Amino acid sequence: MSSIDWATALPVVFLALMGVAMLAYVVLDGYDLGVGLLLHRATPDQRDTMIASIGPFWDANETWLVLGVGILLIAFPKAHGLVLTALYLPVALMLVGLVLRGVAFDFRVKAQDQWKPLWNFAFWAGSGLAALSQGWMLGRYITGFSQADLALVFAGAIALLLPAAYVLLGACWLVMKTEGELQALAVRWAKWAWPPLVLGMGLVSLATPVVSETVRNRWFSMPEFIALLPIPLATMAALVVARAVLNSKLVQAHLCWVPFVAVVSVFLFGAVGLAYSLFPYVVIDRLTVWEAASATSSLAVIAVGCSFTVPAIVGYTIFSYRVFSGKVRELQYA
């Protein structure tokens, strides 16, 4: 048996790890961004419950973003320079939004009643700014940072679609974590978010092969088209399941978890499709994974560090979600 070609394998391993980290961030921080976007539609007491539902998790969820960007920096420095140069402004705006959320999260609890609406607004605005920035960055990334008018319009569409997806994910999180009047309200929010998301996904799916020749060739060549058909079909099925359960009375009983899992599945299928569309590029049509990677010896050292840090992050994430599983309780600070 021939030995492993680490110069070929290690960059792919790190690309996969970076992709998993980014997917984990989008899902885990996505639902609490969605909760933040819904905050202004609730009563003061309901807002406290909504914040309590994400309180044990939201800060740790952002660890996955740090991991993903860290891998991009140390494992693919050439791509890091190219990506951050092209996305300098939206990255800065995203960080402003995330910082604003962090400050508002703590200050709204300690603030006097007359100042609490200000911090609620700050949390909502920070969530919206972060979500819009992430959507714009995703759209620009898919088009390879093209400056064509159509590519910029496409990025703008993704900038609107991703917050809509976060709203649906956040509403489904609240359906799973809350009870009573707020849970019923979350069901209505999820039903409200479902149609524009489905319409937006359909339009973006049609537009993607138009703005990217690479994606078009990957998806619409035979027999690849037949082999890839299960991905959009599974995505549609997950959306239908989410809607069907939301329309059922059982959504406020023992099936309250199903819409959230179904929407998470939509993100998962989307990530699989995106990974297929982009590989072997780190920056589509500009840098392959091997062209962008650090030296093999450097990647080997980084792999040793990741063998400790990644299991620790995964273990803590699983532990925290197990400890704080079940319905949300009143948010309390020592």
pLDDT (mean) for 53-78: 86
- What is the model's pLDDT at position 55? 80
Distance between CA atoms of residues 233 and 239, nearest Å: 10
How distant, in Å, are the alpha carbons of 123, 127, 217, 244, 293 from that of 235? 31, 26, 21, 14, 32
The enclosing domain of 146 has a CATH number of 1.20.1630
Predicted pLDDT at 311:
92
Residue 212 has what DSSP assignment? -
User: In the prediction, which pLDDT does 106 show?
Assistant: 79
What are 227's two structure tokens? 């082999």
**Maximal C-alpha separation, the chain:** 72
**Distance (Å, rounded) from C-alpha 333 to C-alpha 255?**
31
Tokens standing for 204?
Answer: 């973006």
Q: Position of tokens 């984990």?
A: 24
Residue 145 lies in a domain: yes
pTM of the predicted structure, to 2 decimals: 0.90
SS3 of residue 247 by DSSP: coil
pLDDT at 331: 52
Inter-CA distances, 312 with 50, 266, 318, 322, Å: 28, 27, 10, 15
In sequence order, the β-bridge partners of residue 283 are: 287
**117 alpha carbon, distance to own chain's centre:** 27
Residue 78 lies in a domain: yes
89-122 confidence digits (pLDDT tens): 999 999 999 999 888 887 887 767 778 888 889 9
What is the dihedral angle through the alpha carbons of 215, 218, 222, 228, rounded to the nearest 10 degrees? Answer: -90
- Give pLDDT, residue 175: 92
Q: Indicate the DSSP class of residue 327.
A: S
Return the ∠ at Cα 260 (arms to 256 and 263), rounded to 5°: 145
Instruction: Say whether pLDDT at 334 is over 50.
Output: no
Residue 182: inside a domain, yes or no? Answer: yes
In a domain, residue 66? The reply is yes
Query: Would 331 be classed as within a structural domain?
Result: no
Residue 245: band (very low, low, confident or very high) from pLDDT cuts 50, 70, 90? very high
pLDDT at 2: 54
Q: What is the pLDDT of residue 332?
A: 53
Q: Which of 4-13, 263-272, 323-332 has the lowest mean pLDDT?
A: 323-332
pLDDT of 70 higher than 60? yes
Q: Specify if 168 maps to a domain.
A: yes
In this prediction, residues 47-76 reach a mean pLDDT of 86
Q: Do 134 and 162 meet the contact criterion of CB atoms below 8 Å apart? A: yes
Whether the predicted pLDDT of 305 surpasses 50: yes
Q: Coil, strand, or helix at residue 287?
A: strand
Report CA-CA distances (Å) from 67 to 58, 62, 224, 295, 303: 15, 9, 33, 20, 13
Residue bearing the bigger pLDDT, 223 or 185: 185
What is the tens place of the pLDDT at every residue in 190-237?
999 998 888 888 888 888 887 777 778 888 777 878 888 898 899 999
User: Is the pLDDT score of 31 beyond 50?
Assistant: yes
Q: Find the DSSP H helices in 212-284.
A: 213-219, 224-228, 230-246, 258-278
Domain count, the chain: 1
Q: What is the pLDDT of the chain when averaged over all its residues? A: 87
Say how many residues make up the chain. Answer: 334
Question: Residue 1: pLDDT above 50?
Answer: no
- Residue at 35 is within a domain: yes
Q: Does the pLDDT value for residue 282 go beyond 80?
A: yes
Task: Establish if 1 belongs to a structural domain.
Answer: no
> In which residue are the tokens 């709203």 written?
167
Containing structural domain, residue 300: 6-322
Cα separation, 82 vs 6, in Å, equals: 25
Distances (CA, A) of 65 to 2, 25, 263, 313: 36, 6, 20, 12
* Spatial CA neighbour of 197 closest among 34, 41, 19: 34
